[in-house]
Structure 1
Amino acid sequence: MQIGANSLLQEMQSLSGEIKPSGLNSGFGSPITQQVSNTSGSDFGQLLSQAIGSVGELQANAGSLATRLDMGDTRVTLSDTVIAREKASVAFEATMQVRNKLIEAYKEIMSMPV
């Protein structure tokens, strides 16, 4: 499964909509208008699992392109390899940022008085 830039942005905005109050901006300059209709835990877990799987696929694709380029495959260009590596890098960085925000939110909830 390939993650496009628009679909990744939409997923991040919808996740941001769950965390932030609706009056705040999403960080991209526009108010959040998308709302998540189904917020059950299994669906979130499945979405997270798919996102991590997609990042893994992007990394594997970038690795295979780099290997094919190193082996002298004439069908693989240097620009394709660099673009694939950058896509994998951006996707991994976005995943790490989501993970950091989830951990931060968990710590904040756990420190709340009961």
Structure 2
Amino acid sequence: MATQGINQTQGIDQLLGELRSASALAAGKAAPAQSADAAGEVDFGSVLKSTLEQVNSAQQTSQEMQQQFELGQNGVNLQDVMVSLQKASLSFQTMQQARNKLVSAYQEIMNTQV
């Protein structure tokens, strides 16, 4: 479960890096010094899809734990359910912020005069 959180953080960091690069390009600034070879080839679409899948997975896991707790199944305690709910909420809020940044970057690109 801890590696899933680390992977989510790395995926979100990659997504935010891509958004910053797109925003810098839209503003006419040079992209941050990061070569494709140093970071490896990263497809924006696959990073976005992977991040969305991780957020969805966190929400589904949280919902399943909540249902198990409500049904009184053994091995599911309130603390784990609450932590899972908070992780799901935080990952969703982070994804919303990334979406907002993406929309903002898109609008900025569309308003750029050529």
**Residue aligning to 1:59:** 59
Distance 1:15 1:90 in 2: 21
> In the TM superposition, what is the alpha-carbon distance from 1:73 to its structure 2 partner?
1.0
| Of 47-56 and 11-20, the range deviating more from structure 2 | 11-20
Q: Which has the higher helix share?
A: 2
Which residue identity lines up with residue 38 of structure 1 in the other structure? E
Extract unaligned runs of 5+ from structure 1: 24-31
TM-score normalized with structure 1 length:
0.73
Q: Which is bigger in relative contact order (C-alpha 8 A, separation at least 6)?
A: 2
Distance 1:49 1:12 in 2: 10
CA contact (8 A) 1:58 1:87 kept: yes
Extract unaligned runs of 5+ from structure 2: 25-30
> In the TM superposition, what is the alpha-carbon distance from 1:13 to its structure 2 partner?
5.6
> In the TM superposition, what is the alpha-carbon distance from 1:84 to its structure 2 partner?
0.5
Distance 1:107 1:55 in 2: 25
Runs of 4+ in 1 over 4 A off after TM superposition: none
Q: Deviations over 1:3-35 (max 9, x none)?
A: 326535643563365245549xxxxxxxx9xx7
* % identical equivalent positions: 26
- Provide closer, same or farther for how the CA distance between residues 13 and 107 of structure 1 changes in structure 2, counting only shifts above 3 A: closer
